Structure 1
Amino acid sequence: MTTSPPDTVMIARPAPRGPSHPHRGRRRPFEPYLLIAPTVLLVAGLMVVPVVIVIAYSLFDNVVTNQNPQFVGLANYLTILADPNFWNAVGNTVIFTVASVVIHMIIGVGFALMLNSKLVHKVPRVIFRAIYILPWIFTASVVAVLWRLLLDPSGVINYLLKTLGILQEAVPWLGTPATALLAVTVINIWSGYPFFMISLLAGLQGVPSDLYEAARVDGAGLIRQFFSVTLPALRPILFSMALLDLLWTTQQFTLIWATTGGGPINHTEVLSTYTYKLAFNSYQFSLASTSAVLILLASLFVAIFYVRQQKKASLF
């Protein structure tokens, strides 16, 4: 009787590893920091360093124009806070900003509801959407030139108001102290409402239709549906957009400078034009830096409030 040789079992041996790099384990914890280092350096170079320089300028006297500026501490801040032109700019900025943000919100909600309504057919909605978004296409300089032509004493608006019998004679809207701030506010409202409209329209399209059906079953009309369904769904978007628009409008410069330059007689002077004139008209760079720091502090307060509210909203 012959016996077959026993089966041999081949055991695969792991391939020998090469010599490990002695610093590989040490570099791994630092790899994320190395990846974000270019961004950190870019942000520091373009944002942090200029802010620090401006803060330093606000503590000295006659910077830029004087080779040996003197340290004056908080004297520049006391000078700015005692300047009546500064407080005039603050008041104009508050009126300009609050009116713009509130009316942006009202117009944005109204147009967004109209464009999202099923009562308006598809073709008119496309046409209205193209018309309503037009102000957002133009740059601030183009908007300024357009409205200067419209508000000119021989422009279209004066012609229409005189034809309708509302005015007896033409009004230089941008050159009259009583109407200049109102005129630039209207221009800013016209150029900025599409920002609200598009964001709110996107929010409306995300509201479930089941909520409206349930409200209709409960006997809710259109007004009650708006306050019980639409407004609660849009509240986070409205809050975020209002704060962003607040920050943007308080720093509006190009539109006002290209239309009135802060005049007539400082009636449209806002904080941005006030700071610009200190630096490049009067060459008082220390006071301009001080004004810029005060604006930065106010903006930081709004930004911190915005971030805290966003964190609270994300918890629910």
Structure 2
Amino acid sequence: MTVLLVVPIAMVISYSLMDSVITSNHSTFVGLENYFEILGSAKFWTAVKNTAIFTIVSVVAHLILGLVFSMLLNSGHVSRMTRTVFRTLFVLPWLLTVAIIAILWRLLLDPNGVVNFVLDSLGLASGQIEWLSNPSMALPAVTFINIWAGYPFFMISLLAGLQGIPMDLYEAAEVDGAGGARKFWHITIPQLKPIIVSMAMLDLIWTSQQFALIWMTTGGGPLNRTEMLSTFTYKLAFSQYDFSGASASAVVTLALSMILAIGYVRTQEASN
């Protein structure tokens, strides 16, 4: 823990307080100057806004889709064979690596790709739409890709929770005359609440740190419309070679992640 966690974090914090680290043999202590520069950067706040939109929309969609599909697979109105087939299909996105997902969707969303062909055939759109290159469509496009890739994790977890709810609760509710909506809001949701809260907090942490998918689809462009805190920090370090500024940005991102992590730990303690 000391070698792999404490030392690297301490080094990054020290870099953030220095000027011209790594690229120069004569670094000087500048205090919080790098932090003031980062917090005063318009690109940093663009990255914060994009990260917030990307994360919140993804987590909400993951939760809704995961709950809908898990309830569908847990339904007694669906045959066992059908449930087995659809479980396999629904979980496929989760089995693919980020690199494969990025390449797959870049091909599908290409101006000459399958998505444009299908939409044109159905009369829903015309022309070669630049999904990942259009400033107004790039962020919704990468958010959709992240939703598609991430919902199976919610689905599997919520399905396990649904299968653990005692049927006696539903039978007692039916005796009392409760309909499907009342059983859902007063039995299903309360029973799933610990899982939902835990999954939502974990997904907030994971999604806010997403880098590979963004980098391999849009690279943070076009015009910074998909710039995230992760890509912003990476570009500072390895494109502009501003390792001091990148370290300050990384520390700020770490602080934001720690707030989410503390929230997750507190929810776990409350549920226990």
**If the TM-score is normalised by the length of the shorter chain, which range does it land in?**
over 0.9
Q: Which of these residues, 188, 196, 212, is aligned with residue 230 of structure 1?
A: 188
Q: Which of these residues, 183, 200, 205, is aligned with residue 242 of structure 1?
A: 200
Given that residues 162 and 170 in structure 1 are in contact (C-alpha distance below 8 angstroms), is that contact kept between their aligned partners in structure 2? no
Distance across 2 between alignment mates of 1:313 and 1:198: 20
Amino acid aligned to 1:164: L
Work out the percentage of aligned pairs sharing the same amino acid.
57
Which SS does the other structure have where 1:133 is aligned? helix
CA RMSD of aligned residues (A): 0.6
Given that residues 154 and 170 in structure 1 are in contact (C-alpha distance below 8 angstroms), is that contact kept between their aligned partners in structure 2? yes
Residue 284 of structure 1, CA deviation: 0.2
Aligned residues: 272
Distance across 1 between alignment mates of 2:120 and 2:74: 37
Q: Which of these residues, 113, 126, 130, is aligned with residue 71 of structure 2?
A: 113
Moved segments of 4+, more than 3 Å:
none
Amino acid aligned to 1:157: V
Matched, 1:260 2:225: no
Matched, 1:104 2:62: yes
The corresponding residue for 2:227 is 269
* Unmatched 5+ stretches in structure 1: 1-42
Please show how residues 86-97 of structure 1 align to structure 2 within 5 Å.
86-97=44-55
The corresponding residue for 1:69 is 27
Please show how residues 80-159 of structure 1 align to structure 2 within 5 Å.
80-159=38-117
Residue 164 of structure 1, CA deviation: 1.2
Distance across 1 between alignment mates of 2:55 and 2:270: 26
Distance across 2 between alignment mates of 1:190 and 1:312: 31
The corresponding residue for 2:263 is 305
Matched, 1:79 2:29: no
* Unmatched 5+ stretches in structure 2: none
Q: Which has the higher helix share?
A: 2
Which SS does the other structure have where 2:213 is aligned? helix
Residue 62 of structure 1, CA deviation: 0.6
Given that residues 197 and 267 in structure 2 are in contact (C-alpha distance below 8 angstroms), is that contact kept between their aligned partners in structure 1? no
Q: Which of these residues, 12, 18, 32, is aligned with residue 60 of structure 1?
A: 18
- TM-score of the aligned structures, taking structure 2 as reference length: 0.99
Distance across 2 between alignment mates of 1:131 and 1:313: 32
Please show how residues 178-217 of structure 1 align to structure 2 within 5 Å.
178-217=136-175
